[in-house]
Structure 1
Amino acid sequence: MPMPTEERVSQLVAGLVERRGFDLEGVEISTAGKHADAQARVKVTVDSDGTSDLDTIATLSHELSEVLDEAGDFGETPYLLEVSTPGIGRPLTAARHWRRAQGRKVRITLRPGAEPPDPGGSTRFEARVGALDEDSVALVLGGKQKPHRVPVPLADIAEAVVQVEFNPPGAREMELAGGVVPGRPVPGQDAEDVQGNTHAVSVTASDSPTEGIVE
């Protein structure tokens, strides 16, 4: 039986994800093995404004497995469902991502033709995320030594990726950024958040019971 598409799985799970207070950030489907031994891996990434601990993700994971189980799109093909939150290294591609990343250090690449926020500066630089405005974001440049805040239009940013931090930022940096959104990881304590929270459920067939496996 053909595998369902990522778009199809997104349609199946989106409603439940939203009702549980999450945003659906992506669905990835891959397969391992051949023919009778083939197994599908379904990764569902979700996020929210609040704290998403492992117990919450585990509950959502089991509920999503029931939705996929009832739909029956995988037929008799076993699959591993992984539900996770975005870890450090996630790209910022929507306004909600910037809002949730307040206080975090990001690596930014500007679009061709965009002016660097500091005169004579590079179009590729690191900054700390401040408050989000309607069409721009405040970025704190200069690190611990010379922190200063500048507004940058979101339209000028081609790519922004949250960076891993093992050392705490400067107090003035964080003051200019406005602090970290409640419930989000604290900069300088990223060792446990590189991959985010992940819960996996192994499903042997569409009418089989599920068994949770915490990774």
Structure 2
Amino acid sequence: MATGLPSQTQVIELLDGEFARAGYEIEGVLIDGRVDPPRITVIADGDTALDLDTVAALSRSASSLLDAVNSIEGRYVLEVSSPGVDRPLTSEKHFRRARGRKVELALTDGTQLIGRVGETRDGTLSLVLRDDKARDWTTRTIPLGEIVKAVVQVEFSNPPKRELELATVDRSAEAEGCA
């Protein structure tokens, strides 16, 4: 059994620079000393998705850094993972990173919406929604402050091409073209 496990703060301080150099930030650290061997889980997120090669590279560098800490004695399991699809989107960076993903939103006025995340900019979210009357897709700008809850939805099929196109439109380029 490992003893002298580092605190969450110590793990973040130790690994933060290495993860930042790789383009990721540590969203959280879970330390479970009740299991044998103890488990240290580092949850990381970035503007690009964590793929298996990146997780392996981050795990190797994190393991080397943690192994160099003299206070850790014995075995432990290190796990590096992404926040997971069920993590609520709570900040502008979460919405920016979820661009192109389907989400379910609850708004302050009680409205429930399901749409695709478009550009997030200046405290607003561009949400691509189905316009049943026009039988087409439309975008709605929603202030992030009006979003009470937002969760990414799991999709099992490819979305319509037009829906994805609208989700990837850069509004700042459109604004410059109109000026």
Superposition TM-score, scaled by structure 1 size: 0.68
1:141-199: CA deviation from partner (whole Å, max 9, x where unpaired): 227855321111111112211110002222332222127xxxxxxxxxxxxxxxxxxxx
Shift of 1:62: 1.0
**Cα distance change, pair 139–51 in 1 and its aligned pair in 2 (3 A):** closer
The corresponding residue for 2:52 is: 54
The 3-state SS of whatever aligns with 2:38 is strand
For the Cα contact (< 8 Å) 2:48–2:97, is it kept in 1? no
The corresponding residue for 2:116 is: 128
Shift of 1:20: 2.1
Matched, 1:147 2:144: no
For the Cα contact (< 8 Å) 1:91–1:161, is it kept in 2? yes
Alignment RMSD (CA, Å): 2.2
Pairs aligned (count)? 165
Supply the distance in 2 between the matched residues of 1:175 and 1:27 (Cα, whole angstroms).
36
Task: Give % identity.
Answer: 41
Supply the distance in 2 between the matched residues of 1:163 and 1:143 (Cα, whole angstroms).
19
Q: Where do 1:24-43 residues align within 5 Å?
A: 24-33=26-35, 38-43=36-41
Shift of 1:67: 0.9
Matched, 1:93 2:95: no
The 3-state SS of whatever aligns with 2:159 is coil
For the Cα contact (< 8 Å) 2:23–2:46, is it kept in 1? yes
Of 80, 84, 104, 1:83 maps to: 80
**Cα distance change, pair 74–93 in 1 and its aligned pair in 2 (3 A):** farther
For the Cα contact (< 8 Å) 1:127–1:143, is it kept in 2? no
Shift of 1:82: 0.5
Superposition TM-score, scaled by structure 2 size: 0.80
In structure 1, what residue type is equivalent to 2:29? V
For the Cα contact (< 8 Å) 1:61–1:83, is it kept in 2? yes
For the Cα contact (< 8 Å) 2:126–2:142, is it kept in 1? yes
For the Cα contact (< 8 Å) 2:88–2:151, is it kept in 1? yes
1:48-92: CA deviation from partner (whole Å, max 9, x where unpaired): 32353312221211110111111234323x210001223333322
Give the number of the structure with larger relative contact order, counting CA–CA contacts within 8 Å between residues 6 or more apart: 1
The 3-state SS of whatever aligns with 1:9 is helix
Shift of 1:103: 1.2
Which deviates the most, 80-89 or 148-157?
80-89
Q: Where do 1:67-82 residues align within 5 Å?
A: 67-76=65-74, 78-82=75-79
The corresponding residue for 1:175 is: 165
Higher helix proportion, which one? 2
**Cα distance change, pair 2–51 in 1 and its aligned pair in 2 (3 A):** closer
In structure 2, what residue type is equivalent to 1:90? R
In structure 1, what residue type is equivalent to 2:151? V
For the Cα contact (< 8 Å) 1:101–1:129, is it kept in 2? yes
Supply the distance in 2 between the matched residues of 1:143 and 1:97 (Cα, whole angstroms).
26
Matched, 1:102 2:104: no
**Cα distance change, pair 124–51 in 1 and its aligned pair in 2 (3 A):** closer
